[in-house]
Amino acid sequence: MLIIKKLVDYQQLIKFNLSSLVVFSSVTGYIIVPDLNINFLNLFLLALGGFLVTAAANASNELYEIHTDKLMKRTMKRPLPDLRMRPFEAFIFIVISLLLGLFILQYFFNTLSATIALISYILYAFVYTPLKRISPISVFVGAIPGSLPCTIGWAAATNDISTISAWTLFIIQFFWQFPHFWAIAWVGNEDYTKAGMKMLPRTGKVGHFTAFQCVLYSSVLIPLSALPMFVGLGSYISLIGLLLSAIWLFYNSSLFLKDNSDQNAKKVMYASFVYLPVAFLFFIIDRFI
């Protein structure tokens, strides 16, 4: 029973669902490389290395935000603010996970993929995390490490990120993150305000500016749906997946603009949760058909 409780604590420390989505992005970035002879052992190693680095980043975030997490309802029961885990234990876990993850990427793939993973970790843990209490620009900064896993997957497969193809999924995921972040920040604004975090593009849930930004960025995803096919990374199958997901996100963002309610903000949030898994799943289907 104690082992299960400890596993649950670590699942919360590393934000398992978020870490899994990041790994899915990295694996997709690897799989879509044209003419790549896919090795499933390499896929597993990429997923493992990426998961460990992401786990270290999320744990670093929670270690840094122990005191602010105590102030928010949705985070106060995490293992660190709830005193079920000591900070030193979390620190040791972070060091081991980060070093092991980077070693796997370096040893089994290449220096480029490990370097990008390290940059992503640094941006998330030491720039985005403290910036959340300083300026809403943190969302822009956070969107960079949030989108880099796709590029890590591409780099692991090719050892080259000099082409537009290498950055195609990064661009798409980068624009996706703004309505995703802001919908979550709108719904959780009371908690974020208590913790002194400035996550909305304007202070407080006032006016239509936040909803307009969600509409703006989700609308960009519609024409971007054609970018992968344009650069030779997919066919009409991936185009359909991206387009349907983008239209659904845009539609819900439009509802949020029309009526600035928490209910409609949640619809944007849920649509953003659906967007990436569906879009990337279509990419994978496209690759193997």
Give tens-digit pLDDT for 161-198.
999 999 999 999 999 999 999 999 999 999 899 888 98
User: What is the mean pLDDT of each successive set of 10 residues along the chain, which is 289 residues long?
Assistant: 86 92 93 91 96 97 93 90 94 98 98 98 96 93 95 97 95 96 93 89 84 96 95 92 96 95 95 94 89
Find the farthest-apart pair of alpha carbons in the chain and give their distance in angstroms, rounded. Answer: 53
Please identify, among 162, 185, 213, the residue that sits at the C-terminal boundary of a domain: 162
Please indicate, yes or no, whether residues 171 and 120 belong to a single structural domain of this protein.
Answer: no
Question: Does one domain contain both 32 and 59?
Answer: yes
Per DSSP, the three-state class of 261 is coil
Are residue 176 and residue 154 in the same domain, yes or no?
no
Residues 194 and 239 in one domain: yes
Q: Is the dihedral of CA 219, 222, 223, 224 positive or negative?
A: positive
252 vs 74: CA distance, rounded Å: 24
Last residue of a domain, one of 147, 162, 177: 162
Residue 197 near residue 133 (C-beta atoms within 8 A): yes
Looking up residue 52, the CATH number of its domain turns out to be 1.10.357.140
Q: Please state the pTM of the whole predicted model.
A: 0.94
Q: How many domains does the chain have?
A: 2
Q: pLDDT tens across 234-280, in order?
A: 899 999 999 999 999 999 999 999 999 999 999 999 999 999 999 99
CA angle 174, 216, 135 (to 5 degrees): 65
- 192 lies in which domain range? 164-289
